[in-house]
Structure 1
Amino acid sequence: MPQSRQRLLLDVDTGIDDAVALLYLLATPGVSIEAITCTAGNVGAHQVAANNLALLELCARAGVEVAIGSEVPLEIPLVTTEETHGDQGIGYAVLPPPRCSVSSRNAVDVWLEAARCHPGQVTGIITGPLTNFALALRAEPELPMLLKGLVIMGGAFNYPGNTTPVAEWNMHVDPHAAREVFAAYEGLPYEKLPVICALETTERIECTPAHLEAVAAAACAGPEVVSPDQPEGTRSTSDNAVVACLSDALRFYMEFHRLHGQGYIAHLHDLFAAMVATGEAGITERTVTVDVETQSPLTIGQTVADVAGMWGRRPNARIVTGNDPPAVFELMVRRLSHLARMHG
């Protein structure tokens, strides 16, 4: 359990697994979400912002600032992935249009003000492309030292990509931003290096129908049946708004994974990254130097880790090498069922 208030700043492209991560953070004692900045990725940046505002209102947290940053990558055209996350980014889930508005501030200004006003206190969590953070680094090169720490969901190291044979989605959407971010951290103190949650560990976080049913049961929300035998597009009948949102979002994600031969599961990449940021996920890690391919049409977006020091460059990242999926889901069920009891 967090022992004191944790200031977190989220940069997201919400996204089904981003949404689950946000709900977990909203349910975690001691966590203060300073703001949420939005980047284009899973869906466009304005849809990302609408999703975040609606999820905050679902959980009675409408006061959190939601700001939009870059709507396109640094140098290449934007690609989005509605086939993975649905036209609105949260699968089959339908939430009321948010009453609150997007902030008038740009995401870069939000990052800089949070870091400057609370030096050494704010931990960043980035679960989308790194565009906003790269632009913030251009504006304030000292940003890594001003933050308490940074957790990034992205990359794949000695592991297949999920977008191309070698590239993970977030890195593929804006490889130039990712390369700038890793370069900015080279040689900084160990505790300031970004913690990287890449596919080789996040794809171990396989959410199943049983996990959803456990959330509903623990929330006393009645039985929630999610089954691969049900017709595609089946919707939740729960009268608990949080349970219905989770069920409808994750059912879409499970159908997508099944379509691509991975089984009726949902990889909750961003939930794991959020738990790493709060310190509630037990992990092992390795300090390395990371670079990102930006030129080759064949391998653009590939993240390469120099483990043996062949480049002669200083470390710039801490890659998560091991995790505990059953513990992640035990915590997810506990947190999200409590959230459902409070706000469902």
Structure 2
Amino acid sequence: MKLLTRTHMSQRRLMEILRVIESASTPVGARAISDTLSNRGYDLGERAVRYNLKILDELGFTKKKGYSGRVITPLGSRELADALIDDRIGFVNTRIEEYMYRSSFDPHSCQGLVIANTSIIDKTDSDRVLDILARAFDEGYGISRRVLILDEGEMLSTQVVPAGSIGMVTVCSMTMDGILMKKGIPVLTSFAGLVRIKDKQPVEFTDLIAYAGSSLDPVKIFMGGRVTSVSNAISRGSGRVLANVREVPLAAAGYALDILEASRCAGFGGLIKVGGPAEPILGCPVAAGKIGIAFYAGVNGAVAAEEMGAGIKTLPISMLVDYSRMADLS
């Protein structure tokens, strides 16, 4: 029995549960799945998740691993790859919009939920990674000096931090989109790409991927392709770093600038440029009637650490976190 024979809403629930299980590196239980779905905008309680897990077990798409939770089977992976192709197109933008809607950070009060990236770090490399993150922010390539550190055994998004590791939560640049949305400004996250840095100054986008119509996070694609040189940009002033561009209506430009200034005063960095009407941002196109706003990606510090050989695995745009739980890098 295929998922495609079920109603659309049931399809979506089952597919989202499969996505959560597949993205976890360890078996995941109903409570963790429910929490993750809630962060993604799906109101599905633990009891409902258990019911849907029984269906997935019967279909052969998941299986129990003792009392630890479920893992996805090869059949489930194939179903996830093949089913609902049309539904997956634009999935990344939909997920970003859900996170933006559910975020609540206010730059004036410095309170609320921020969109976050998560990393698993080998404990032996933790001090070095945190130092690199601080340097990345000091050089302007990060969003915030705030991080949340979780010890082994604690829950990080959909997984438990493994033994011998720490979990790290950093602020994602999409938080800025959420701030603009919450202030009533329509915002479209349009492109992600690589910015060439020369003499510590951004020169141009050398590669771009549009978020619209994408079933994979463009930032994650660039990270997986190992085409960055963030560590060189930090240490030598020249390299290629991750960034993204969002568009807002020209009529809201003045208000948007006020919000960006408030965010800067709240300690948020990473702003590259605010363009004029339909003005390309470092070569990235901007639609008529809009202005473009470019920010460096919040994962740049983690990417630099990986480039330098640190044991770190990073997942962008992976959870919401209360800003008050985060602390400044020392």
Q: With structure 1 as the length reference, what TM-score do the two structures score? A: 0.26
Q: With structure 2 as the length reference, what TM-score do the two structures score? A: 0.26
Rg larger in structure: 2
